[in-house]
Structure 1
Amino acid sequence: MPYTALSTTVATIAATTLTGIAFGAIEGITIDLAVAQPLKVATGLQDGFSLDSVEQAGVYGGIFAVASEVRQECPVLREKSAGSVISSWGRTFP
């Protein structure tokens, strides 16, 4: 059974990724419904609650949760901060 360790590793990565997507999507939707949309309605930028905005928040929440997870797990990305990556492109931002 030489494939047992590989199967376990693949299953762990898949489970972690799917869990990250689910929690990120739920968090994005919650923030959109509890904070962002009520503020938009209160300021007159939006007439009512938008399901398109909720869907978009879920998609982006899932994507960014997985991206954050990958950055934490990868030693090369973990060592670099956003500032060092930007400055390595020859641009500096305050």
Structure 2
Amino acid sequence: MRKPELASAIAEKVGLSKEQANTVLNAVLDEIAGALNRKDNVTLVGFGTFLPRHRGARTGKNPQTGEPVKIRASNTVAFKPGKALRDSIS
């Protein structure tokens, strides 16, 4: 499912127009991204938790040549699914 399809499903379920549902979805995603940018966790009870993670610098290996490659430190996002989400998929 892509973002427009998700907005459409929200619109049908809640009784909003597609434009309104898209606006709400964008606002939610912006708030999640903003919180992660501030290094805050975002917990949606029953769904899961988004966590900002820092990956330290490390040495990797070029798969074609086998030579060592320096990989810079970076920030990323991890997602830990909640129990209700894990149970609904099983």
TM bin (shorter chain): 0.3 to 0.5
Query: With structure 2 as the length reference, what TM-score do the two structures score?
Result: 0.34
TM-score (norm. length: structure 1): 0.33
Name the one with the larger helix percent: 1
